Amino acid sequence: MLAHKAEIEANKIIHGCLKKKFNINYINLPNLVFTYPEISTVGLSEEELNYLNISNFKNSHYFLNNSKSLIYSDGKGFLKILYCSSNKRILGACIFNSIASELIYSITTIIYYKGTLSDLLNIISPHPTISEIFKEFILYK
């Protein structure tokens, strides 16, 4: 389930032995559950944001509205994004879909670079693809 976590920690050890700086950002570590549909999360959860007293919003968008999901007859699941209410910076996400493990990389990258909802909207996705769910999330929230 977390082979990627073990790999990044091994890289940290190797870099440490070579006396090179290597940091791991565990908040930016995707978590995957390989069920059907898959579940992927990254960033902070609602509970963590509330505990840290960070004013946040959450919105969800369902894959049933996504063109490619309809083509594959796989409209199961949703995308939930948590973001800061003041600056719209994306703080966390949850994806529940048959290819959630493939989609989480996009939102992980946005969180890593401290991206906002506008940044997410400015990324061009080919059409029709399931990755358009991120654009749809912004446009139809």
Residues belonging to the active site: 127
C-alpha 55/C-alpha 127 separation (Å) is 34
Whether 32 and 100 have beta carbons less than 8 Å apart is answered as yes
| Of the candidates 111, 88, 85, the residue with the CA atom closest to the CA atom of residue 31 | 111
CA triplet 48, 54, 59: central angle to 5 degrees? 80
Q: In what order do the strands lie in the sheet with 31-33?
A: 31-33, 38-43, 90-97, 78-84, 56-62
